[in-house]
Structures are given as structure tokens and as C-alpha cells.
Homo-oligomer: A and B are copies of this chain.
Amino acid sequence: MITAVDVVDVRFPTSHRLDGSDAMNPDPDYSAAYVVLHADDGREGHGFTFTIGRGNDLCCAAIETLSEYVVGTDVHGPADLGALYLRLTRDSQIRWLGPEKGVMHLAAAALVNAAWDLASRRAGLPLWKYLSSLTPEEIVGCVDWRYLSDALTPEAALDLLRAAEPGKAERIAEIEARGYPAYTTSPGWLGYDDEKVVALAREAVAQGYKQIKLKVGADLEDDRRRFAAARAAVGPDIRIAVDANQRWDVDQAVDWTKALAEFDPWWIEEPTSPDDVLGHAAIRERVAPIKVATGEHVHNRVMFKQLLQAGAIDFLQMDAARVAGVNENLAILLLAKHFDVPVCPHAGGVGLCELVCHLSMFDYTSVSATMEDRVIEYVDHLHEHFTAPTVIRDGRYAAPAAPGFSAEMKWESLQRFAYPNGPEWREHA
């Protein structure tokens, strides 16, 4: 039984180096609303949601509010995990604050992820293998099907999962042997000068990456110059994605993207508001054959459903901790499979790489059964704070081997960067 929930507001002062800077987020302090579930068998479950600073305390407070649905219950298997997820997202009074969006939904993500961490530790498996061990019926039972049936029914989802059963053991072995392809955003932060972009782009290629990403959207001439320099540095065969971080209206997105076309962008990411399904669809139609990607700020499965129904995206960028954790991401993986859209997760921040690779690996073993055109974002920030950090080999995520969801931060890091009273912040103040 889960007997206690600890919550930590942990923030890293990333803003002073312009790591993570983009057209909408000039000075992020990468942060986590971090939660530890304590069970009476001595087990723990770790989870978090990611923010970029101010308001992280509100996510922590929201987790405290939702903790009443966790303490006194337990999560021994998928049925428990499905029931907990519904309790965390369906309280009618709390639902009024959304529904299923914003601070409350971020808080639910932290708790749901911590519960899956606990359950997969108990099973002695890394989360991706724990998910891969579940039956199609168990996976379908973890999803909240409300509002999805016009696109995908539970019965049709069962058929998708059953069709992916053959070859699963081989795909698990392949993941363990070779990992999963990554791309890197480390060269492309908007605050970096051209020289740094070029050096980091070359370094990425030398490290084995086949795709990198550049931030764009603040100034067109700057973007063209940086993109030209990066393209010259890596050559024509490396894919370069560009990311506008929601900066544009529809017409502006089309014009700006076309003005970058000569440098062969692989996708344009977040060209406009993450809420704008119809805007993304219009942009995609008008910038083809350049592809459109979005998802890190898409707040729930109903929005992803519509992006897919409207043909608004070429790549679906799931985030491990914006929707309500593993359960909602299972729904999103099934929707993406049904609409045949590759999932290329958002990562970076703090700990998002550690989490989301589990979901892509499960997608390969048990849902899409392909890695074609699929890559997981990688950013080389802040991994040193985790007990089982992401390992990249030759441009690929190595398969996590430790039991759980890889969410656990080191105790020293939680202490040092606790906000506002950890020593790192007391020194800043």
C-alpha cells in the first residue's frame, strides 16, 4: 500500500547559459515537480513533471492536492494503474479547472508516472519491458476511451495490438542489442552564436547522429544564416529539423518556412499555437513537401486525436509528462498507429530523455513494430542528476536495463537544487 507521497520543487539555473533558449522561451530554468511514492513494502515510485521555472511550485501544490487519490491505494498491475489514472483525472470538482489540461494535468502526469515506476520496479523490469509484457487486453484496459470512439474504439485497438504480437520477442532483443535512433537538439539553441552552432553540429555528426535540430523564429535573416552554416557543416545527407516553438501565425509560418526551404529542412516543428489543429493542417498543406511536427505542448489525447483526424501532422511528438503520464500516452501511441503517423518524441528539459525512450521502445516492440522515420530527441543536459541516466551510443538510445521508469534523481541533486532553499539557490539569491 502507498502510505506517503513526498513532493520536491527542484530547479536548475539553466537560464544563465542560454541552454534551452528558443524563440518563445528566452530564459528557461529547467525544473521538475518531483514526487516519490512510498509503499509499505519498502518500495518507492519516482516520477515528475517538467516545467521551465516559475509555477513549478504550483505543480507541486497540485500534486499535493491529488495525493489524496494515491495514499491508501496500491499499484500491483495494469488494472490498478488504469483505476488510479481515472481517479486522478476524473474528480469532478478538479476537472472543472481543465478538463485535462494545465497545472492539474501536469500534476497528474507526475503521479501517474511515479505509479508506473513503482509497478515496474516491483515487476523487476524496466518500464519498456514491463509494458511489452502486458497483454493487449491489459494495455487497452489502461486507456480512458472517453472521447476517442469516433477515431478509434477499444475493439479496434485490441486488433492493432494483436496484429503486433508476432515478432515481439525478436524486437525486444533488437532493442536490447541496438537501442533506438536519436536526434540531437544540442547544437541549435537560439542563444548560441554561429561558431558554436557549427562546431556542435559537426560534433553531432561525428558522434553518429543522422539528424539535428535548429531553433528558429526570432529573426529570419539570422535563421537563414545559421541554417546555411549548419547545412554547410554537416552536408546534404544529415537531416536538419527546425523548431519555431509556437512563434507564428498561419501565414507567417508558411512564408518563413518557405524562406528556409533552400536549406532542406526535414520538418518544421511547432509552427503555431499547440491548440491550433486547423492552423497546423493549413500550414502542412501549404508547406508540403516540408513536413510538420508537433506535440510537446499538446495537452491531451482529444487534441492528438484531432491533429491526426485533420491530417495536421507528419510526426507526432509525444511528451512523457505533459499529458497524464503513461496511460494517456498509451492512447496516443494507439491513435498514432491507427493513423499511421510516426511518433518522434519530445525530450530534453530535465529527465524527459530518461522517461520517453521507454515509450518509444514499447511502441516498437508492441504497437507500431517499426522504427522507420522514427527518432527520439536527445539533449545533453542535466543527465548527471539521475541514478540511471540515458546512455547514447553511436547516435542511438541504449535500452534502459534497470527496473522502473528511469525517473529517479540523485538525492544530492534533489537537495542541492531544491527551490528556493537548496544551497544552489541560496547562493544565487
Contacts and interface: CB of A to CB of B under 8 A. Distances in A.
Interface of A: 24-29, 51-55, 57-59, 61-62, 65, 91-106, 146-150, 246, 249-252, 272-279, 282, 297, 299-300, 302-303, 305-306, 309-310
Contact of A52 (B96, B98, B282, B300): B96
A104 B65 CA distance: 16
Contacts of A100: 275
B98 A102 contact: yes
A297 B25 CA distance: 27
Contacts of A277: 277-278, 306
A91 to B, nearest CB: 7
Given A99-B297, A249-B149, A52 B276 contact: no
A341 B398 CA distance: 54
Contacts of A29: 93
Task: Give me the 5 closest cross-chain CB pairs, A-B, nearest first.
Answer: A102-B102, A150-B250, A53-B93, A54-B93, A103-B103
Contacts of A146: 249, 273
Nearest to A98: B102
Contacts of A310: 278
A329 to B, nearest CB: 17
Nearest to A146: B249
Contact of A97 (B93, B102, B150): B102
19 contacts: A51-B97, A54-B91, A55-B65, A55-B94, A58-B61, A58-B65, A100-B275, A101-B102, A101-B299, A102-B104, A147-B249, A147-B276, A149-B249, A149-B251, A150-B250, A275-B303, A277-B277, A277-B306, A279-B302
B97 A250 contact: no
B92 A28 contact: yes
A97 B246 CA distance: 14
Most-contacted residue by chain B among A57, A104, A249, A275 (CB, 10 A): A275
B52 A92 contact: yes
Contacts of A273: 99, 146-147, 302
Contact of A58 (B58, B148, B302): B58
A95 B61 CA distance: 18
Nearest to A147: B273
Nearest to A59: B97
Contacts of A303: 275
A163 to B, nearest CB: 24
Given A55-B97, A147-B249, A24 B92 contact: yes
Contacts of A249: 146-150
A305 B95 CA distance: 23
A306 B103 CA distance: 23
A279 B99 contact: no
Most-contacted residue by chain B among A98, A146, A149, A274 (CB, 10 A): A98
